[in-house]
Structure 1
Amino acid sequence: MIRLWMSSSLKLAELFVSCMVHLLYGFYIFSSAVAGDISQMLNEYFSKSSMNVEVNDEVPKGNTHVDDLPPIVLVHGIFGFGKGRLGGLSYFAGAEKKDERVLVPDLGSLTSIYDRARELFYYLKGGQVDYGEEHSKACGHLQFGRIYEQGHYPEWDEDHPIHFVGHSAGAQVVRVLQQMLADKAFKGYENTSENWILSITSLSGAFNGTTRTYLDGMQPEDGRTMKPICLLQICRIGVIIYDWLDISWLKAYYNFGFDHFNLSWRKMGVWGLVDCLLGNAGPFASGDWILPDLTIQGSIKLNYHLHTFPNTYYFSYATKRTRKIMGLTVPSGILGIHPMLFIRVLQMSQWRHPPDVSPPYKGYRDEDWQDNDGALNTISMTHPLLPIEHPSRFVEKDSDCQPLKPGIWYYKIVEGDHIMFIINRERAGVQFDFIYDSIFERCRKHVFRKTIPTLRNEVHQ
């Protein structure tokens, strides 16, 4: 009887948390689209109870031991989660089972690109997350965070590089991490370099920002502050209360990643909660959270310091669910788009930058940003474009990039909405296997060899 009661209580608790998470999801990128997919998956779960590069055209076989293969690290996007969260639900819809050397880190789902990049480093190398003294003071949070007693790939270095696959904001997290490695930004690790990363694959990656942020409440004037009344304000209040309650089993089930801000009632009390809700303290007050990084202005600010490196392979899948009809950009059908993302695709395709507000960059045109997948603009996902356009090549068919060369962003346009290749693999159908099989096969074909000269980035005109 007691066991039955405990089992029923646990299921009710998990459903309660999932409902809270779904509600918050609904206010941004995944919208209630992800909520529906997660609900479906949970119901099914409960019903069951500087170097040169050579290309090796063959996937390692024979005497190659699994432990000798470079890991493939899957990095989730905004509101995402890693292995072990949400009752064992897979953010990448089980794609991690396609290869024996895949890691799925759990990073802050709403924390800034910078903070998530720091967390990713220590997740792999081990030790206590160090956000950096200067950054921590400027943003008003603790310098040190979670402790990884054992890194998930402690041998990681230039001789043991890694493949990264990032979805949505996760792709930009990996780019920031690579720049940090190049800049030797981790105290106690003076030997890091950009060559610790073998390849970066972006799946609907947020490289150049999105107009969706303005629709949800970010101010187009600065790309940093929120409108007084908007969906993001409701999200902000929900997250603050969730973290303030600090219920251990809830946080273990799903965590927004703001533990280093000490938002718990045990640390700040009632008056601290009031201060946060009024916008005087916490991550939303300091701007150290994900949304400012996803505006066009925020992305440009980040991209100023990020390079494309000559010894790393880059490949990007940009998703799109729009088409042109009589000169107008509209959703490309109804059946191919998640019902709860259809409205967002339509809104983004009709977005117009306020005429009384300075454009986010010189040469901005609304029509360039109309194609989208319901969360990101297609132009943002192809390759780093603003403020400097990096070397790139459009891929129509796979033979266009054979052999693959490092230091160039190869990009492909894929028909799909923003969550087509995550959470629920049934929606993507055969495309799911095609995309991930291609990614993992590409990762297994490339290895570092000798030294080559540096390639320069091209200036965007």
Structure 2
Amino acid sequence: MKTLTSVALAALLAASPVHAANNDPVVLVHGFLGFGTDTFASTGFKYWGGFNDIAAHMRAGGRPVFTAAVGPVSSNWDRAVELYYQIKGGCADYGARHAAEHAAAGHIQKPAGKCWAADAANNPNNYPLALYPQWDAQHPVHFVSHSQGGQTIRTLLQLMENGPPNGAGSEGDGALYAGDKAGWVKSATTISSPHNGTTLRDVVVDFVPKVSELAGAFVQVAGLGGSGGTGYKFRLEQYGLAQGPLESISDYVARTRGAPFWQLANRDAAQWDLGPDGAAQLNEWVKTSPNVYYFSIGSRATEQGSWCCNNTDRVIAPFQDRAYQYPRNDMIFFLKNAAGEWVVPSVLQRGMGSYRAADWYANDGVVNTNSMRGPAGQPQRQFNGTAQKGSWNYLGYYDQHDHFDVIGWDAPPSMVSPIYDKLLGILSGL
């Protein structure tokens, strides 16, 4: 049975100072291959909580909590655009220059199918309702994100406060690109996020088959069988790759896999942003705002190699080297094959546990633990009970927790709820 072993983390979280509580809404932002609350409605499986419900748990104290759903394989720019309009209302505008730069891959600036209504009483097209249309500096939000969601909220904050990197007007007249939206976000929390990328992107050579495999595994975990499920959607309308209402994951990938979007040369996709090189490029222009409280939480589910008697999976890694890291027995099944010294099965393809430098070896099955603290070269500090704006307040990492334990997929509420209870305690005091 997994236990909370990061005592220092628990102590730091519990040490948050008492201030006048705020009740500003929380917006939950999922990671790579994530999905919305209605994707697996037939089984009740949720991204945030698995067969439990983290959002509902967080609402128990009366705080509004919204769950966003953005493109599961899209770039952080595209996801940030969708997140903005999904909260505020309106139709996604991916930017004139951005769409033009990726026109060869089929990018559309203002595609159909990406609109949200700000006013339920004035919604002739029956768009989904925006999450929080009153969002502004007088009605700020707290972002809580997992995995790639951390990169996404950072990208959105940069665009909101400073406009596009190529200057005012370069992306057209979309509301997002005007900048000057400081104060709209009170805090940004990232959980197991690849701020400096993940080596999983590099060790997985065949990207498209792996996407299909992982999405199929999600469907399986949700209790709907393998990749034949039709509820999961890739949301790539901005690339002209809309998915049919009854089109399965495997059928969709088979139909579209020749599209330029899926090629590794495409740098407007999650597969680029999530790698160390893509993350470094993102970090060059996405900076830490002096107006926002930032918090980061990590996770780890590997152990140092040993000739015997550790808690790693000896079927995956029967022979081990003390210099490397190996997946624990309790890591969720579909992550183990790439988390250790070698990708299993492969012909001498190094896994996350031995790829790059030694400080990158420890991981949670998806993201290297050292990448979760904050973006390299930007202000970071160990949280000591008092939060500082404009710096990453690192809350430590949860040991024996894989990438999906921290969002409740393979862990009981007694193990998961304290993570969010303690975080809410900090946010309430800001």
TM-score > 0.5, shorter chain as reference:
yes
Larger Rg: 1
Structure 2 counterpart of 1:422: 407
In structure 2, relative to structure 1, the CA distance for the partners of 1:157 and 1:373 (3 Å cut) is same
Shift of 1:132: 0.4
What is the percent sequence identity of the aligned residues?
28
State how far apart, in whole Å, the 2-side matches of 1:431 and 1:234 are: 29
Structure 1 counterpart of 2:318: none
State how far apart, in whole Å, the 2-side matches of 1:276 and 1:170 are: 25
Structure 1 counterpart of 2:326: 331
2:29 maps to a residue whose letter is V
Further displaced range: 162-171 or 86-95: 86-95
Show structure 2 runs of 5+ residues with no match. Answer: 1-15, 119-129, 165-172, 216-227, 245-252, 307-321, 343-350
Give the length in aligned residue pairs.
Answer: 334
Task: After the TM superposition, list the runs of 4 or more consecutive aligned residues in structure 1 that deviate by more than 6 angstroms.
Answer: 236-239
1:211 maps to 2:199: yes
1:433 maps to a residue whose letter is S
Tell me which protein shows more helix as a share of its residues.
1
Matches within 5 A, 1:175-214: 175-185=154-164, 187-188=174-175, 190=178, 192-214=180-202
State how far apart, in whole Å, the 1-side matches of 2:415 and 2:255 are: 48
Shift of 1:154: 1.6
In structure 2, relative to structure 1, the CA distance for the partners of 1:350 and 1:83 (3 Å cut) is closer
> Which of 424, 427, 430 pairs up with 1:443?
427
Shift of 1:293: 0.6
1:330 maps to a residue whose letter is Q
Shift of 1:376: 0.6
Give the alignment's TM-score, normalised by structure 2. 0.71
State how far apart, in whole Å, the 1-side matches of 2:254 and 2:424 are: 48
1:370 maps to 2:361: yes
Contact persistence 1:117–1:176 (CA under 8 A) = yes
Shift of 1:184: 3.0
1:402 maps to 2:385: yes
In structure 2, relative to structure 1, the CA distance for the partners of 1:144 and 1:423 (3 Å cut) is farther
State how far apart, in whole Å, the 2-side matches of 1:332 and 1:352 are: 14
Show structure 1 runs of 5+ residues with no match. Answer: 1-54, 61-67, 218-229, 240-249, 267-272, 354-365, 396-400, 447-461
Structure 2 counterpart of 1:153: 132
Contact persistence 1:203–1:317 (CA under 8 A) = yes
State how far apart, in whole Å, the 2-side matches of 1:160 and 1:292 are: 34
1:340 maps to 2:359: no
Shift of 1:148: 0.7
2:108 maps to a residue whose letter is L
Matches within 5 A, 1:198-347: 198-217=186-205, 230=206, 232-233=208-209, 235=211, 253-263=231-241, 277-278=257-258, 281-282=260-261, 284=263, 286-325=266-305, 327-331=322-326, 333-334=328-329, 336-346=330-340, 347=342
2:231 maps to a residue whose letter is Y
In structure 2, relative to structure 1, the CA distance for the partners of 1:324 and 1:287 (3 Å cut) is same
State how far apart, in whole Å, the 2-side matches of 1:286 and 1:351 are: 27
State how far apart, in whole Å, the 2-side matches of 1:275 and 1:436 are: 40
Deviations 1:120-172 (A, max 9, x none): 00011101110001111221221113111123212211222110011000011
Structure 1 counterpart of 2:8: none
State how far apart, in whole Å, the 1-side matches of 2:75 and 2:393 are: 26
Deviations 1:307-328 (A, max 9, x none): 1122211111111123335742
1:71 maps to 2:25: yes
Contact persistence 2:90–2:116 (CA under 8 A) = yes
Contact persistence 1:322–1:349 (CA under 8 A) = no
Contact persistence 1:92–1:421 (CA under 8 A) = no
State how far apart, in whole Å, the 2-side matches of 1:342 and 1:103 are: 32
2:379 maps to a residue whose letter is P
Structure 1 counterpart of 2:108: 142
In structure 2, relative to structure 1, the CA distance for the partners of 1:144 and 1:338 (3 Å cut) is same
Deviations 1:201-233 (A, max 9, x none): 11101211011111111xxxxxxxxxxxx2534
In structure 2, relative to structure 1, the CA distance for the partners of 1:200 and 1:188 (3 Å cut) is closer
Deviations 1:26-76 (A, max 9, x none): xxxxxxxxxxxxxxxxxxxxxxxxxxxxx972563xxxxxxx831100000
1:119 maps to a residue whose letter is E
In structure 2, relative to structure 1, the CA distance for the partners of 1:206 and 1:352 (3 Å cut) is closer
Contact persistence 1:92–1:423 (CA under 8 A) = yes
